[in-house]
Structure 1
């Protein structure tokens, strides 16, 4: 994420500061399980800046580049490394892992309460401006809501996008390792994370911390309450 000078003291999740050679600095997230963190921080910073704030999502391939002005995003068709260089803040090399967590196989799925799969599908098409490519997302109606997954094991920012497009829905984004020893649930409403459950607990999270999801406190019971099979995270 790139910000103007004078904004580098904002509090947030763990970031590495990359001092730029011009008007922009970069905050490089060090923890890949902070899904949506850069989007939320870029949005807030853009409300205070006269010039755009840029965010680069490195969780997906290709990387997603966004420009933020006064809280409003715009997806850019630009090469992220070229943009970073033009701003005076070259990106870290791609082969460098962001942290030890990056070495762990993490899978990301979402559960959407209050809508049907057809409505969620339309919302994603509106977000991306056209039909979804085959296999990009798998949306399945369940008795408890809509389960959103991907053949790649990573839905990117689909949970955040759905919570923005469906303001009356409650979205749960779940990130977990195969053994559930790393287990994160973000409860999203209106595009904002209003509660994060983490096991093990995370002292560095800038999101509101909750101790239970739907009354449950263990990963297995939380997944059961959300209608997400624990086996899904173990499929490689």
Structure 2
């Protein structure tokens, strides 16, 4: 199925590291034309240089998904560069884990802005284009957080559950010309925790990641699988986690 993504134009947010970086490189390796968006310009330049040196096609734009105009500009770059948009992968996300009574309001705001509003801005940027084309594919990277409610993840899991709800609601509302897929990774070896401010929680998560986290290539393969399906087939929901994860 992987050859089915050849020449597809795919926008990927949060593409400077972790899952987004691996998705971009895997897509390009299989012939897709990738458009990377993230805040870290230097990292994206390195990724795009590597993609081009290996014969692939890619461009990038410094993008803050909490700013709707940035996301609109990212999608516009895809159109200006390649003339079309086949899919958008809303991958950008952050995690700030803490007890509710610690009142990390700043952390709550950041997660709502990036994890929820960032996804909505991505969808809002792509949907008008997909409607005009009468086809397109939205992939929202969610999380296993929220499928199982646990302590310390109240707001983080809430943002992910909100995206899960939005994804399923849009699937029901769509007439099938625009497909949508929600992919919920479990523990994955990424830098998601690097910017986590709660140092105690950071240690706990890092320990679990060392014990059984899976490689981000597994998530990239899931994205490729979903996008590779024929136009009359929609993969609505994928949960992919380490086999040892509870």
**TM-score, normalising length from structure 1?**
0.31
Higher relative contact order (CA 8 A, sep 6+): 2
**TM-score, normalising length from structure 2?**
0.30
> Which structure has the highest helix share of the two?
2
> Which structure has the highest strand share of the two?
1
